[in-house]
Amino acid sequence: MEGPEEEPEKSRAESLWQTPEGLLAVASALLLAANLLLILAVFLNFLGVRVGWDAGKTVWAALTADLVGVAILAWVFFLTAARVEGRARFYRRIEASLLVAWIGITAFWRFALPAAIGTDLQDLFVTLIASQGTLPGWVSRSAPVVVELLYLWIVCAALFLAAHVVILLDSRAASADDWARGLPVYAWVVAAGVSLVATILIVLSFAAVLQGAPIAVNVGAWLIAKMIVAPNLFISGYASSLQLGRSAARARTSDDEA
């Protein structure tokens, strides 16, 4: 049984992760894991692992983890908007709103649109990548939906970059005692920028495939930028924000106790 001294300690530990600082650490951990899973999926696919846990399942785990992680991150910025005034409050609300928009549109193009044409995102992309100038009938018949999906992918990548640019502005405007000042904003912005450029190039290649052209010979380089380079940059940023969130949560708990 827990003693009377252990129960308050447990309560403090639980409340620690319910603060914006604790939630920042949780969001960072999820987003760190999501990007690690994307890189792992590339290597599993390269190795041709097909037994048990394969590249496809790894990708789906990553695509789910990043939605949850970004949702928590958006909530962190909504919560902390009440703590600040002026431009900082405006920035927090804008960046949170952009992240929420990203979540909604991303869930739509990742899950709803592929389901509408009787497939899933992974099968659709594999079909487009493997195309040599000819497409299955179901893809040709669903071309307008596929085009919509691809352009929404670009919109989401642009929203994600815009959100991180606002976070950068927020960090620069934050007071010296605000943990937002320590966010790894430059790593996030560079990673989101690389991801956007790679997304645009991949989408242009897929759009050409839908018009009957073979897949671009250098699409592999763009996929590497999207699936390896950008995730590595994000990993460095989320590792930093994870540590920042943990430190800020402990500091806030200490201040509350004092």
Number of compact structural domains in the chain: 1
Buried b or exposed e, range 68-94, using 16+ CB within 10 angstroms: ebbbbbbbbbbbbbeebeeebebbbeb
% pLDDT > 70, the chain:
88
Assess if residue 217 is contained within a domain.
yes
Confidence bin at 1 (pLDDT 50/70/90): very low
Two tokens, residue 177: 């005692």
Q: Kindly state the average pLDDT of the residues 211-216.
A: 84
10 in a domain, yes or no?
A: no
Q: Judge contact between 146 and 139, C-beta under 8 A.
A: yes
Q: How many CB atoms lie within 10 A of CB 132?
A: 8
Tens-place pLDDT, residues 121-134: 989 998 898 877 67
pLDDT in tens, 31-63: 999 999 999 998 888 776 666 677 888 999 999
| H/E run at residue 167 | helix 143-173
204 is written with which tokens? 């242009």
Domain range enclosing 140: 17-257
Assess if residue 202 is contained within a domain. yes
Domain presence at residue 3: no
Nearest to 60 by CA among 90, 40, 75: 40
Residue 12 lies in a domain: no
Token pair of 59 as six digits: 């990708």
Kindly state the tokens that stand for 118. 């009787």
Q: Global pTM?
A: 0.89
Taking only Cα atoms into account, the Rg of the chain, rounded to an integer number of angstroms, comes to 21
Question: For tokens 């193009």, what's the residue?
Answer: 109
Q: Is 251's pLDDT higher than 70?
A: yes
Q: Is residue 157 part of a domain?
A: yes
Local structure of 119: helix, strand or coil: coil
Tokens of 99: 């992240």
- Of 60, 101, 75, nearest to 17 by C-alpha is 75
Question: Would you say residue 139 lies in a domain?
Answer: yes
Give the list of residues 6+ apart from residue 1 with CB closer than 8 angstroms, or none. none
Residue 3, burial from CB neighbour count under 10 angstroms (0-12, 13-18, 19+): exposed
Alpha helices in 17-120 (DSSP H): 20-47, 55-81, 86-107, 113-116
Distance CA(185)–CA(169), nearest Å, equals 9
pLDDT score at 18: 76
The answer to whether residue 9 is domain-embedded is no
10 Å CB burial of residue 50 (0-12, 13-18, 19+) is: exposed
pLDDT digits (tens, 9 = 90+) for 62-110: 999 999 999 999 999 999 999 898 899 999 999 999 999 999 999 999 9
Q: What is the pLDDT of residue 179?
A: 93
Give the Cα separation of 31 and 33 in Å (integer).
5
Write down the pLDDT at residue 218. 87
Which pLDDT score, from 0 to 100, does residue 126 have?
Answer: 87
